Chain A
Amino acid sequence: TQLLEQSPQFLSIQEGENLTVYCNSSSVFSSLQWYRQEPGEGPVLLVTVVTGGEVKKLKRLTFQFGDARKDSSLHITAAQPGDTGLYLCAGAWGNKLVFGAGTILRVKS
């Protein structure tokens, strides 16, 4: 059983569409990170959220941390083919990071 559940597992959309991916848990996290991973490469950090209710924007990407710090979402506006990749959330747990299984996003042109 994953401590962090991500949904959907796979998403295939057309260029220009909007999408949201979710990261949920029954546990409280002191902070949560989102990473993006491209094929054949390691994950790269997109953002860290630390305060309940926090919203961070990174160009067309909007990240939100739930008020209770148990969940987070990533919203992409007007998706582009360059957004294709695996999106991973990771929560601070004890003295480690725990990762969700990820959402595979494919944006078709």
Chain B
Amino acid sequence: DAGITQSPRYKITETGRQVTLMCHQTWSHSYMFWYRQDLGHGLRLIYYSAAADITDKGEVPDGYVVSRSKTENFPLTLESATRSQTSVYFCASTPSGPYNEQFFGPGTRLTVL
């Protein structure tokens, strides 16, 4: 299907486990982003990527790792999950520059026990 998809939609894991959240877009947008959404904080940027093999930290990158070997995929890995990483994670993309309209995926709700 065309658009931006995230998987899984829901995930429960335990403290210390590694978790990877997937993001796939079919538009060939250059820019991709990972945000976390927590009550009272809005959306906070974790990492972003301007193109394949180019990534940069956002506001809250600690404990997360990203890669972008292909334009269409931008996985987010929690190397050793902590309870504070319980959140809803959104992936977004935009064709040209972070100031333009961002298109968001449906989100992944992650619970770390």
A52 CA / B35 CA spacing, docked (Å): 28
Cβ contact within 8 Å between A88 and B43: yes
Q: How many residues of B contact A (CB 8 A)?
A: 20
Interface string of A55-92 (1 = CB under 8 A from B): 00000000000000000000000000000000010101
Q: Give the one of B58, B98, B99, B107 with max A CB within 10 A.
A: B99
Cβ contact within 8 Å between A41 and B106: yes
Q: Give the one of B48, B104, B105 with max A CB within 10 A.
A: B104
Q: How many residues of A contact B (CB 8 A)?
A: 24
A82 CA / B90 CA spacing, docked (Å): 23
Cβ contact within 8 Å between A99 and B43: yes
Closest A residue by C-beta to B35:
A99
8 A Cβ contacts from A39-55 to B: 40-45, 48
Residues on A with C-beta less than 8 A from B41 are 2, 101
Say yes or no: A96-B98 contact (C-beta < 8 A), given A42-B92, A42-B105, A42-B107.
yes
A60 CA / B42 CA spacing, docked (Å): 25
A4 to chain B, nearest CB (A): 8
Say yes or no: A97-B42 contact (C-beta < 8 A), given A40-B107, A42-B90.
no
